[in-house]
Homo-oligomer: A and B are copies of this chain.
Amino acid sequence: MTREELLATQTRIASYIHRTPVLTSRLLDEMAGARLFFKCENFQRMGAFKMRGAVNAILQLSEEQRAKGVVTHSSGNFAQALALAAQSIGVKAYIVMPENAPQVKKDAVVGYGGQIIECASTPIAREEMAAQVEKETGAYFIHPSNDLEVILGQGTAVLELLQDYPDLDYVFSPVGGGGLIGGTALAAHYFGQNCKVVGGEPFGADDAYRSLQSGLIESNETTNTIADGLRTQLGDINFPIIKEHVEKIIRVEEKEIVAAMRLIWERLKIVIEPSSAVAFAALLKEKQSYAGKKVGIILSGGNVDVTKLPF
């Protein structure tokens, strides 16, 4: 992936997404001892950065491919993102979701025009069902994170951030399946002025941290975290990018995630989901290392049940 491909991606998806705002807070700067620039993907269409990658992946298909639709498996934001992106572009979307997925998430997918195919609640069942849909319909399979076009799309968030603030010293990103931090790493590499990328990851789903330690893709031993968007697994397409361009990954405790989330709600006055708070929690945890620096922080999404908050 090149600098030019990232710029072309930005142009390609521009009319389908929002250029999201960047918020700052004197009080949070004081707390962190650094100058913070929060990239607010919670204000993105359908409420998360996932829209960027979903739109880009569909737009890169041929007319013939588009005519047969797209398929993915996801119980989270990518399910909604692919449904809305497909609807916006005029393509059919099949979304494989576990049968026990929350009704509110199923409703959202249907609201965006997606067709849900239910499966058993295991990773293998999801992949098998997606493969079956692909075979039966001819729909094109788009992985939520381990896909070059998805990674390029997600990278446009920090591309925008660096266009607004070119001299950031660091960008902090949450780490789930690796699509966001992979795209972020490319954007920082090509458009930063020696801008380093740091990941935040829950202890309860720390495959990326351990993968960077071992140099091989490690599996999550547990997925016990409130950051439900980060329970997913690194892939073989994004891991090499992460290995090359991410400086380090900081693991955080559940209570640190909740505390960071609450600070964002109370001080920035915005609604973010737990996964979104992980990058900020990571910065706060090791703030002495970033004192006085200019730090971008990705707030990845805002899709949270406001009747069930952890504080």
Contact call A266/B306, Cβ cutoff below 8 A = yes
For A38-63 the 0/1 string (1 means CB < 8 A from B) is 00001100010000000000000000
Q: Report yes or no: B306 in contact with A269, Cβ–Cβ below 8 A.
A: no
Contacts of A21 in B (CB 8 A): 21
Cβ–Cβ < 8 Å partners of A306 in chain B = 262, 265-266, 309, 311
Contacts of A47 in B (CB 8 A): 269
Answer yes or no: A270 CB below 8 A from chain B CBs: yes
Least distance between A9 CB and chain B CB atoms (Å):
24
A302 adjacent to chain B (CB < 8 Å): yes
Residues of the B chain whose Cβ atoms lie less than 8 Å from the Cβ of A266:
271, 306
A103 within 8 A of B: no
Q: Is the CB of A269 within 8 A of B311?
A: no
Q: Which residue of B lies closest to A302 (CB)?
A: B269
**In whole angstroms, how far apart are the Cα atoms of A272 and B265 in the complex?**
10
Closest to A42 in B: B269
Considering the chains assembled together, what is the distance between the CA atoms of A265 and B266 in angstroms?
13
Q: Is the CB of A307 within 8 A of B302?
A: no
- Which residues from chain B contact A302 at a C-beta distance below 8 Å? 269
Q: From residue A304, how far is it (CB to closest CB) to chain B in Å?
A: 9
Chain B residues within 8 Å of A311, by CB: 306-307
Taken together as a complex, chains A and B put the C-alpha atoms of A23 and B271 apart, in Å, by 14
Q: How far is the CA of A263 from the CA of B42 in the complex (A)?
A: 15
Tell me the complex Cα distance, A306–B272, Å. 13
A271 CB contact (under 8 Å) in B43, B270, B307: B270
**20 CB < 8 A contacts A-B:** A21-B21, A23-B43, A42-B269, A43-B269, A47-B269, A265-B271, A265-B306, A266-B271, A266-B306, A269-B270, A269-B271, A269-B272, A269-B302, A270-B270, A270-B271, A306-B309, A306-B311, A307-B309, A307-B311, A309-B309
